[in-house]
Chain A
Amino acid sequence: MVETVVSMGLPVDEHLVIRKNRLMPEELGKELKRIGIVTGTHGDELEGQFVCYELNRRIQEHPEYLQGIVDIYPAFNPLGIDSITRGIPMFDLDMNRIFPGSEDGPMMETIVRQLMDDLAGADMCVDIHASNIYLEEMPQVRINEETAERLVPYAKMINVDFVWVHASATVLESTLAYSLNMIGVPTLVVEMGVGMRITESYGCQLVEGILNLMKEMGIWAGPVGEVRTPIVSSDREIGFVNADHPGIYLPKARIFDDVDEGDIIGRIVDPMTGNIMEEVKAPIAGKVFTRREYPIVYSGSLLNRILGGVQEQ
């Protein structure tokens, strides 16, 4: 059943409405477990839209297998999605930097507080992101090292290729995932694909993983396809590749490619002169899990990330 979670008046004859679709078994048990599927916090990240559609479809195809509550929130930031805006239109701060929100804050912080209240008490949350318009990401779960012990076992169930356990940073304490984890709702952040696009294969892969996670939790009793075992990493095993010159980036290595240290993984070229400005080399041996898709780069633009240590394992 589609429910309105938040509704706020906009200046002229419209409301900002955030909705969810609650799927639950027809016969209610005593204590049903609940999972929240959240996406659309950043308006330019659309991979989660397909995941929501497909998960809805799979569950509604076999409602007899549903043994718990699935709340699907396709658009935390509907105005952003509708206007192809990563952030919240007419608001300076990134929506994923104002959690847990406050009733005393500006409208968006009030909204965020109400979204938190709606998710409070859930047994699990999956927060689906799609990088941004510049970078493509291998399907992965990102986990703050403070919560790794609790979350890595869940992350292994969700059918991603990679689990990145990263160092904690104060600024990330205002994300949805951090805030939910702090109130006892285990929350996995999924990053996959690229902004403004939908990669159906990644979406299907994640849906299988969500169903598997639901099955492990006792929310889903239906069959689940094979689930891959992800590589679990820490910060020390990641090689970052940033541009040192402005120009046009022509990537050579693709996502999932294995590269050796020193391999040329792309070039930065100058369309005006025909010169190659930089031969971009892999800083470590490993597997490419991030690749720049948007060609124009400045010094500092992130080009690739490489997961090291794979070849040695």
Chain B
Amino acid sequence: MKKEVIYRLDSPYRESLDITGYRFGSGKKSACIVGSIRGNEVQQLYVCSQLIKKLKELEQHGAIVSDNEIMVIPSVNHHSMNIGKRFWAVDNTDVNRMFPGYDKGETTQRIAAGVFDCVKNYNYGIQFASFYLPGDFVPHVRMMETGYQNTSLANLFGLPYVVVRKPRPIDTTTLNYNWQVWETNAFSVYTSETDVVDEVSARQAVSAVLRFLTRMGILRYNSHSGYIASIIDEEELTIVKTDAAGIFRRLKCPGEEVHMGEVLGEILDPYEGEVIRQVVSPTDGIIFFSHKKPLVTESEIVFKIIRRLHE
């Protein structure tokens, strides 16, 4: 293992932002794994740390197949993480909306360019990502529909679901999208949490990456075969929105099977505690996403359901 600073940005009042990469094995650029890019992605940082720990052991036991290099970058934006900010602390821009970056551009464009210069040209790119809506997902692999995506490869992670998302204009500046445009097979792995550590889904994510690297001939590692994933088009998920605001009581969680007409959650009057609305499932299926915060606005997405899928 080689630990190196892959990008450094000097700061006027703090220590420099050193983005650290861990290089395992040597030879062709086989796989690159990126952890936290946003300052609240603690789970993503944790998953990467556990992966680095495991890869260290595996390398010592000669488990990395020769002529394969694996790069792991556990954290890009710890300057924000250390002060409790999600985005770049100086101007609140999102580094994961700045790819492929520009080395003569603004600060977060330069950070993105420095990182992208290091992570591009790998055969496989894996990012532990978080979503812009607050809530929980079932663990899954997410891909952008760029024309370059390969859902069969995504299946090799052995997670229960692979989601294909049609990119919107704002997605075209993410790492995942640009990896694919630069001909890296890119996958975003979503675990259950973002700003807290969830051990169970973290272990699942580490196993999924090790399983994928093994199946691609990069690692020698025996693991459980995992799932044969259900491939889901994000647009086909059934959206359940609120028609009232108040305190949200979640009754069903991601991964649970629900039936049409079943009560998924309740909205309570914030002063008098009465249930003012029931959130009812419009379909049979499996809960893919659910709102987690205790408050909801009107017209908010509180559940996404994989239609007509059973446990």
A-side contacts of B241, CB under 8 Å: 104
A-side contacts of B132, CB under 8 Å: 91-93
B-side contacts of A16, CB under 8 Å: 297
For the complex, is A215 an interface residue (Cβ under 8 Å from B)? no
CB distance from B40 to the nearest CB of A (A): 10
Assess the B299–A299 pair: CB atoms within 8 A.
no
CB distance from A9 to the nearest CB of B (A): 3
**Which secondary structure characterizes the binding site on chain B?**
loop
Assess the B107–A298 pair: CB atoms within 8 A.
yes
A242-B169 CB under 8 A given contacts A10-B297, A296-B90: no
Assess the B133–A134 pair: CB atoms within 8 A.
no
A171-B92 CB under 8 A given contacts A8-B297, A13-B271: no
A8-B299 CB under 8 A given contacts A98-B170, A172-B169: yes
For the complex, is A262 an interface residue (Cβ under 8 Å from B)? no
How many chain A residues touch B (Cβ–Cβ < 8 Å)? 41
- B170 partner, pick from A106, A171, A298, A302, beta carbons under 8 A: A171
A-side contacts of B173, CB under 8 Å: 171
For the complex, is A105 an interface residue (Cβ under 8 Å from B)? yes
Assess the A171–B169 pair: CB atoms within 8 A.
yes
CB distance from B271 to the nearest CB of A (A): 7
For this complex, into which size category does the number of interface residues on chain B fall?
35 or more
CB distance from B190 to the nearest CB of A (A): 15
- Docked Cα-Cα span, A248 to B246, in Å, equals 46
Which B residue sits closest to A244, measured CB to CB?
B104
CB distance from A303 to the nearest CB of B (A): 10
Assess the A242–B106 pair: CB atoms within 8 A.
yes
Assess the B172–A242 pair: CB atoms within 8 A.
no
Assess the B270–A107 pair: CB atoms within 8 A.
no
For the complex, is A165 an interface residue (Cβ under 8 Å from B)? no
Write the B272-311 contact mask toward A (1 if CB under 8 angstroms, else 0): 0000000000000000000000011111110000000000
- B104 partner, pick from A105, A134, A172, A242, beta carbons under 8 A: A242
For the complex, is A140 an interface residue (Cβ under 8 Å from B)? no
Assess the A107–B106 pair: CB atoms within 8 A.
no
Which B residue sits closest to A104, measured CB to CB?
B239
Q: In the complex, given contacts A245-B10, A300-B109, what are 9 additional A-B residue pairs having Cβ atoms less than 8 angstroms apart?
A: A8-B298, A9-B245, A11-B245, A12-B245, A13-B270, A91-B132, A106-B301, A107-B299, A296-B12
Closest 3 CB pairs of A and B: A9-B245, A9-B298, A300-B107
B residues bordering A, Cβ < 8 Å?
9-13, 86, 90-92, 94, 97, 104-110, 132-133, 168-170, 172-173, 239, 241, 244-247, 270-271, 295-301
